[in-house]
Structures are given as C-alpha cells and as structure tokens.
C-alpha cells in the first residue's frame, strides 16, 4: 500500500483514534497458523488496547481488513470466547504486545509509522514482532490496514456494543463459576516436550503445572495472591476434561478451594508438565490463599546420589592429606 501524506503528530489533540488491523498466515507443509490483530491508538504515550488471536483454523484468516472496525474486533473477541484459538501462541503474542506499554521506543515507532500511514515500516514492525518472537518462519505473510475515526465515534460505538458483546458471548467461566460457586481463572499449562504427558492421555485426578495468565486486573490480583509475579507456575488438579469433535480440549483444573482454572488446547499430542513433589516441593496449601506457595520451573537440583559422591570425595581428600602428612613426617624424622 502507498504512503499517505499527513501532518498529524498528536491524534489526541485532534480528537482522532487510529486503528490498526492486521492479518497474517503461515501456510506450509510444516506448520499452518492463522492470526488476526487489532490495535487501538488514542495517544502518543501507549496503546489504548488491542485484540489478538492465533489459531490453526484457516477461517481465522477469512476476516477481510476492510471490514468495519467494530465487526473486526468482535470477530476476534468471539473466536476467543469460543476457544477457537491456540492458547499458547495467542498468550505469547499478547505478552509481546504488552511490551508496547512498557517499551516507549517500540511504541514510538509503531505510533510514528501509523500516523504517517507508512505501511512498509508498520508491516515490518508487526512482522518482526510476530515472527521473531513466536513463529520464526520467514514464510509468514502479513498485511495491514490503518483506519482513522473520531474519538466521539469510537466512544459511541464502543458503549453501544459493549453490552451486546457481553450478552452474546456465553463465557465458559460464567457457567462454570455458577456450577462450582467459585472463581475461574485463565491459566496456561507448562509444556514438557520430553518428559511431559500428552493431552489426550490426561485424566481426571492428574495434577499438572499451570501458570496464571496476566490478561486482566482480576488475573493479576490472583497472581499477587499466589505470589506468582515472576511468572512461576503452580500445581493444579484436573477435575474435568471435555473434547467435542473438531473442538479443542477444554480442561478445568482446581488450584485451591473455590479457585479453578480453565485451559483450551488444540494440539492433542502436546505434552504437559506433571506435578512432581520431589522437584516441585510440597504443595504448601495451608488453607489461607495468601499462604499458598508459588512454584518456579524446577531447577537442576542436586540428586541424593550426587550429594553422596561429593561427601565421599571430600572425605577422601582429607584422608589423603593426612596420609601424605604422615609420610612426610616419617621421612623427615
């Protein structure tokens, strides 16, 4: 697309909102991935918000960029609510998009390219953000579109559609929270490609390691409660597994009393890390939420056999030192 000449430097002062729509796909014999991205810019300091999704379903890519901006974001939101996405790749993309709020240099570049309608540089920035950090395949194809609307239109449409979106999307957590009279959090499983257990072999009662995703204020609050600020994981018991034809695995796990987590996984062969008391330590659940311990990824701990070997070497060194000291004493005498 061609560049558009513009002298706008501060969209907030001009009462404008700039919307970035981008879709991408990686369609090779090795990997088939499709995604949509929607970023909202209202000021020069940080993005107002974004919606993103990555999926193995080809229809994810079908939404055209020229679609009305509100329908475009609703398309992404609805597919996420229906769990038609790859949770691991989508969460990774969300994590890197979060850097736009912290990395002012990166956001400054994004803002500049968008305000100037510089599609070449904008596409390159988004391409590197997605490909270098997640997909790592130069076969990735990406296209974007910038849309300009007034602040008044953005506010009016957002308010008028917010309630309809919430009413039309039956979030699984709402139903499950009513059933269990508890809190349902978004969590992601910890992967273990070598030693883990395949998703399709999991059963109710298994304990896996999960991480609470920081994708909302409530999620971040529970991350603080469980002391998981450093991205540590925590054990969770599987209490329910659902799998309908052509749908992802839907796994409900129990983290603590009245606190559950939900997992959606498309790949049935992906291996999840199981809870191991020896490497992960005791669960440390003592009744109070604030006292629940966090569990980081297991470090290369020293095994009992290795510790015994170290002690033996130290004792042998001491005995050899004494032996040579005695020999020297005898020779000198």
* 177 and 162 together in one domain: no
Same structural domain for residues 76 and 149?
yes
Q: Residue 282: inside a domain, yes or no?
A: yes
What does the alpha-carbon distance between residue 40 and residue 51 come to, in Å, rounded to a whole number?
A: 9
Question: What would you measure as the largest C-alpha separation in the chain, in angstroms?
Answer: 102
Q: Is the domain of 179 the same as that of 163?
A: no
Residues 25 and 109 in one domain: yes
Residue reference for tokens 């956001």: 107
Same domain, 32 and 124: yes
Contact 147, 21 (CB under 8 A): yes
Looking at the fold, whether 118 and 195 belong to one and the same domain comes out as: no
Do both 139 and 240 map to the same domain?
Answer: no
The pLDDT of residue 312: 66
The confidence score (pLDDT) of residue 256 equals 83
Beta-carbon contacts of residue 165 (< 8 Å; ≥ 6 apart) = 74, 77
Report if residue 124 sits inside a domain. Answer: yes
Q: Per the domain annotation, does 73 fall within a domain?
A: yes
| Residue 271: inside a domain | yes
The DSSP H or E segment spanning 79 is helix 69-81
Q: Is residue 238 part of a domain?
A: yes
Of the residues 167, 196, 222, the one at which a domain ends: 167
**31 is written with which tokens?**
């990997």
pLDDT at 295: 43
d(CA 51, CA 289): 31
Query: How many independent structural domains does the chain possess?
Result: 2
What is the pLDDT tens value at each position of the chain, 333 positions in all?
Answer: 444 444 556 787 788 899 999 999 998 877 889 999 999 998 888 888 888 999 888 999 999 999 999 999 889 988 877 767 787 788 888 888 888 888 889 999 999 999 999 999 999 999 999 988 888 888 999 999 999 999 999 888 877 765 554 444 334 444 444 443 457 888 999 999 989 999 989 998 899 999 998 887 778 888 888 888 888 899 999 988 887 667 788 898 988 877 888 898 888 788 999 998 888 776 644 333 333 344 444 433 333 344 455 566 667 777 777 877 777 777 776
Domain stops at, among 167, 196, 229:
167
Would residue 76 count as lying in a domain?
Answer: yes
Write out the E strands in 76-220. Answer: 141-150, 183-189, 197-198, 207-212
| Residues 138, 113 within the same domain | yes
The per-residue pLDDT for 98 is 85
Give the dihedral of Cα atoms 143, 121, 54, 253; nearest 10 deg: -160
The answer to whether residues 163 and 201 belong to one domain is no
Tokens of 8: 């706008």
| Domain assignment of residue 130, yes or no | yes
- Residue 24: which domain range? 16-167
pLDDT score recorded for residue 310: 57
One domain, residues 114 and 29:
yes
Same-domain status, 60 and 199: no
Q: How many CA atoms lie within 13 A of 189 on its CB side?
A: 32
The reported pLDDT for the residue numbered 117 is 93
Whether residue 242 is contained in a domain is answered as yes
Do residue 158 and residue 223 come from a single domain? Answer: no
């Amino acid at each position: 697309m061609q560049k558009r000449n513009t002298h706008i430097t501060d969209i907030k002062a001009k009462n404008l909102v700039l919307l970035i729509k981008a879709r991408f796909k990686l369609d090779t014999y090795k990997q088939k991935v499709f995604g949509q991205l929607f970023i909202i810019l209202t000021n020069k300091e940080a993005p107002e918000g974004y919606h993103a999704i990555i999926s193995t379903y080809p229809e994810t890519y079908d939404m055209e960029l020229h679609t009305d901006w509100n329908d475009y974001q609703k398309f992404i939101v609805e597919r996420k609510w229906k769990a038609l996405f790859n949770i691991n790749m989508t969460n990774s993309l969300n994590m890197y998009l979060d850097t736009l709020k912290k990395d002012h240099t990166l956001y400054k570049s994004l803002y500049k390219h968008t305000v100037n309608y510089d599609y070449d540089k904008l596409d390159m920035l988004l391409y590197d953000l997605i490909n270098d950090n997640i997909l790592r395949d130069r076969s990735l194809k990406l296209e974007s579109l910038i849309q300009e609307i007034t602040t008044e239109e953005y506010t009016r449409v957002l308010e008028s559609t917010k309630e309809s979106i919430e009413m039309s999307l039956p979030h699984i957590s709402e139903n499950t929270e009513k059933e269990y009279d508890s809190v349902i959090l978004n969590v992601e499983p910890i992967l273990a490609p070598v030693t883990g257990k395949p998703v399709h072999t999991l059963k109710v009662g298994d304990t896996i390691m999960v991480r609470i995703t920081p994708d909302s204020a409530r999620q971040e609050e529970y991350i603080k409660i469980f002391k998981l600020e450093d991205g540590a994981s925590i054990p969770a018991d599987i209490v329910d597994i659902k799998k309908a034809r052509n749908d992802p695995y839907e796994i409900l796990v129990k983290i603590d009393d009245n606190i559950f987590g939900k997992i959606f996984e498309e790949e049935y062969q992906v291996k999840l890390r199981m809870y191991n008391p020896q490497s992960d330590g005791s669960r440390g659940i003592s009744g109070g939420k604030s006292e629940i311990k966090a569990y980081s990824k297991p470090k290369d701990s020293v095994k009992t056999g290795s510790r015994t070997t170290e002690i033996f070497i130290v004792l042998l060194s001491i005995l050899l030192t004494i032996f040579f000291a005695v020999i020297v004493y005898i020779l000198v005498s």
